[in-house]
A = this chain, B = another copy of it.
């Protein structure tokens, strides 16, 4: 029997799909999918970040959106590939208002997963490459305003005589990348940052912090790190890069500025936001506000009985910057996830005596291992195969969240075998290990709760060697004058306790700035609704409230690690740009507002 080439099969499917959509024949379109199918869409059909799971959900979505979307010009790009019976093909298409691209995966001639994502709004394409701005009018002109004068005028006027269309609250990596995207789309925006300099959100963290993800995963849009950049970026070097990026990408970036309060006028469709800029209160009137205040929300308060009695120093990891003053002191670190481990190492390197208090089991993966088996498509090898960071981002995004656990379980089977001796030694030291409720490991913990994992860059050996003490499996009863009292009656003396107890949901920041009522209406951010501890159902299929419309009009959340911020900043910016240009943006799908 002759095999039909993958590209031919993909073209046949895409042709049939196009025809069905063109004809408005939703049943025929839905019939092109297998039973256990998924369609993930970023804005093109739904003006939402949403995944339709199953044929019925797809049909329902098309019923609601097809007429207005008017998709057309579906075209394969490059050759399709085939792996274990699954054909993968990349394509482009258009809607009434946008150009799009996507990835489909076929099984037995029908679609298993479809991914569609907006590329550009028609007529509002980013000016780059051949369409970049000229930068100078080649004509003498006495009225000419030179670049530096235009920038100075913009800086002077925006937020004073001119109002920003969008206010980005938080000028860390997320706010900076979103600010760059918005500027490229011509959306007048201000990014406010509480620190004195761009990049301080990295610089002010603990001394030894180095990115745990490799450089290929960490690029910012527009200006990738150069080829000589180290694999793991030290925090201060990252700070310098963000500072230069903010400058050369021409962001309107207000330092030493905090948001005091914000309220939305539902009738006028405008926010009133009061900010404190270097001590001066300024009222802004943006049409949209974006919370980019960190991947998570405010620090989770340290809520331990007897905390008032403790005579030593008690601080949250977000307040910890160096172990220097703890040299020769007894220290206890509560928490056994990333920051818990990093703070323990920093304290030990500073000559403190350190005990880690582990309250629940942790997923640990050695950095070298993760680099080799977990970052395959973000690497020099991938680049050599033509998989740029942009392509790798699309590949990651093309897998619906519901299908991620399966691949991750397989990955952790490999990892546990590979590093079995390491895990045995760690367990023997009294450290409680897990790989998540369903053995899916680090990435799923990151998506579900953003907590409970550590990429080992040295702490585990210190635990194995007994250089970092470990107390695990015993709950804390209370703090005492001298230290910590456990439920089993044992005590741990400590001159200082560092609570690496994580962060609250981003919507708690909304409660502080807007109102409790709006924060509750919007509901928590992050998490998939997996039904595991810390991520209760119902199943969402996407991260709650992130990068998409929320229950509060004109209020958005943007955040995540460098990779997520890089990728999703584009879609947040496109949604805001479309609204600025008066393009109709009917949102399909319920907004997230489940409590957790």
Contacts and interface: CB of A to CB of B under 8 A. Distances in A.
Interface in A135-165: 135-142, 144, 146-148, 151
Contact of A459 (B140, B148, B383): B140
Interface stretch (A171-179, A347-355, A530-538): A347-355
A4 interface: no
A458 B147 contact: no
A227 B132 contact: yes
B228 A132 contact: yes
B208 A146 contact: yes
Contacts of A367: 138
A contact patch SS? loop
Interface in A265-295: none
A229 interface: yes
A500 to B, nearest CB: 16
A134 interface: yes
A128 interface: yes
Contacts of A130: 380
Contacts of A232: 134-136
Contact of A227 (B128, B208, B226): B128
Contacts of A345: 140
Interface in A203-253: 207-208, 210, 215, 222-223, 226-234, 236-237, 240-241, 243-244, 247-248
Contacts of A247: 240, 243-244
A487 interface: no
A244 B139 CA distance: 30
A230 B140 contact: no
A233 B250 CA distance: 14
A144 B209 CA distance: 12
A462 B223 contact: no
B140 A215 contact: no
A206 B351 CA distance: 57
- Name, among A126, A184, A349, A462, the residue most crowded by chain B CB atoms within 10 Å (CB to CB): A349
B208 A144 contact: yes
Interface in A406-439: none
A230 B127 CA distance: 9
B230 A142 contact: no
A387 to B, nearest CB: 14
Given A146-B234, A147-B237, A226-B223, A458 B139 contact: yes
Nearest to A215: B132
A129 interface: yes
Interface in A455-506: 456-459, 461-462, 467
Given A132-B229, A134-B231, A230-B135, A236 B461 contact: no
Nearest first, the 6 closest Cβ-Cβ pairs linking A and B are: A135-B230, A244-B244, A147-B234, A148-B236, A128-B227, A140-B458
10 contacts: A134-B230, A135-B230, A137-B458, A140-B461, A140-B462, A146-B208, A146-B236, A147-B236, A222-B226, A240-B247
Given A240-B247, A244-B247, 19 more contacts: A128-B226, A128-B227, A132-B227, A132-B228, A132-B230, A132-B231, A134-B232, A136-B210, A136-B230, A136-B457, A137-B458, A138-B457, A138-B458, A140-B461, A140-B467, A141-B349, A146-B208, A147-B237, A148-B236
